[in-house]
Amino acid sequence: MVSLSLRGLTKNFASVRAVDQANLDVNAGEFLVIVGESGCGKTTTLRLIAGLENPDGGTIFIGGVPVNDVPVGQRNVQMIFQNFALWPHMKVFDEGRYTNLTLPLKIRKWSREKISEFLRPLASKLGIEESFFQRKPSELSGGQQQRVALGRAMATSPRIMLMDEPLSNVDPPNRLKMRQEILAFHREHRLTTLYVTHNLADGVALADRIAVMHRGKFEQVDTAAKLMREPANAYVADFFKAEQLSHSVGFS
């Protein structure tokens, strides 16, 4: 398990400040959910952590070590994108070939038998049916593509998992099942996970703590119950009241 910290993290896009001197501490092994209105900087923060964007200021620490200068792909961080980012020319799964699910493991020189032993149970848990295996992403529904994207990210067994609205295209019955599988995978592999969502019900079901983001800053980070009962400011209070009315989210 590894911790993650942001200190004064800043990112500008032309005249727009997407992330504004943001500070955050994520404990090793924690499942932290980031919520906030559209455009508040949630996705940009994940992209900065992954190394897909370069910060204009501040420092990202993974396990206490600054990683601003560590290239993408070498931070042992995996990100699941809202738009799936699957390889369009590759099929879903074939132990003997380069496919969307097997690519990370083939690069690591895993044997065909080891790939099958690891990926087939994972695919089954995520609802990736064998009938999908020989299809390309264009032949799958949005929800099916989302499941494949989750499976590919899980196959890499990173230290830190970043998830940007990973269940946005999954239907309600499968959504509940996949919540359980995401949490089980997080715990089994002792990951540190950051999960961005607009669905507060997902956040409450998954999070150890929830971070409320507003205008590029983190307003408050705490358990769902404490955020509701002891909001740090009017924005946090209004955000949770609005979300409760919209989604009928309950807090214990």
HEC profile of 163-230: EECCCCCCCHHHHHHHHHHHHHHHHHCCCEEEEECCCHHHHHHHCCEEEEEECCEEEEEECHHHHHHC
For the cut 90, the answer to whether the pLDDT of residue 101 exceeds it is yes
Residue 203 CA to residue 190 CA, distance in Å, equals 19
| Residue range of the domain that includes 28 | 1-76+159-252
Closest CA to 180 of 127, 139, 110, 111: 127
Query: What is the rounded CA–CA span in Å between residue 63 and residue 39?
Result: 28
Instruction: Identify whether residues 166 and 248 lie together within a single domain.
Output: yes
Q: Does 132 lie in the same domain as 245?
A: no
pLDDT at 247 (0 to 100): 53
7 CB-near residues (< 8 Å, 6+ apart): 23, 58, 59, 61
Query: Are 200 and 233 part of one and the same domain?
Result: yes
Residues 16 and 141 both lie in one domain: no
Based on the domain organization, do 113 and 69 belong to the same domain? no
The tokens describing 12, both together, are 């500008």
> Is pLDDT of 239 > 80?
yes
- If asked whether residues 197 and 184 sit together in one domain, one would say yes
Q: Say how far apart CA 115 and CA 96 lie, in whole Å.
A: 9
| 84, pLDDT greater than 80 | no
Assess whether 116 and 67 both reside in one domain.
no
Q: Quick one: 91 and 52 in the same domain?
A: no
The pLDDT assigned to 252 comes to 43
1 within 8 A of 191, measured Cβ to Cβ: yes
Confidence of residue 233 (pLDDT cuts 50, 70, 90): very high
Distances (CA, A) of 165 to 12, 17, 217, 231: 22, 22, 19, 24
Compute the average pLDDT of residues 104-109: 88
Same domain, 165 and 248: yes
Residue 87 and residue 196 share a domain: no
CA distance 149 to 143: 10
Domain shared by 183 and 220, yes or no: yes
Last residue of a domain, one of 157, 186, 209: 157
- Indicate the number of domains in the chain: 2
Looking at residue 150, what is its pLDDT? 82
Last-in-domain residue among 157, 188, 219: 157
Instruction: Clarify whether residues 111 and 175 are in a common domain.
Output: no
pLDDT tens readout for residues 141-150: 877 887 888 8
β-strands 57-62, 65-66 pairing: antiparallel
4, 61 Cβ separation under 8 angstroms: yes
Residue at a domain's end among 157, 185, 220: 157
Domain with 60 in it: what CATH number? 3.40.50.300
- For residue 195, count CB atoms less than 10 angstroms from its CB and return exposed for 0-12, middle for 13-18, buried for 19 or more: buried
Note if the pTM is more than 0.85: no
